[in-house]
Amino acid sequence: MTEELLNNETPRDLDQQQARLAYTIIESLLEHTRVVSDLIALMAQTLDPDTTKALTQTPVWTAYLDSRRSLERTRAEVEKFAEIMKSLE
């Protein structure tokens, strides 16, 4: 598809099989992210308050929170994609 765009050709729409594969991949990634977030929350509960405070003041924690917010916005887009997929069937 990148080559098509470089050649100024219009990329073709996904067929149903490709769309279903894309949806399955996205759904799997979102589920994995949810599980990892739950694990992080569980692990954070086991930390003492000083360690928790130190952790939440790091750039890594800030990036994690930014990523979670972005993923929540993405979730709405995936739900829209799922509705489109359902309408194709």
Sequence spans of domains, the chain:
11-88
Per-residue pLDDT at 86: 76
Top mean pLDDT of 1-15, 47-61, 70-84 is at 47-61
pLDDT, average across residues 23-37: 87
* 84 to 31, 43, 78: CA distances (angstroms): 20, 37, 10
Per-residue pLDDT at 57: 94
- The token pair that represents 2 in the structure block: 């990148």
| pTM: predicted TM-score of the whole model, two decimal places | 0.61
Per-residue pLDDT at 85: 76
How far is the C-alpha of 19 from the C-alpha of 26, rounded, in Å?
10
Q: How confident is residue 83, by pLDDT bands cut at 50, 70 and 90?
A: confident
Average confidence score pLDDT of the chain: 81
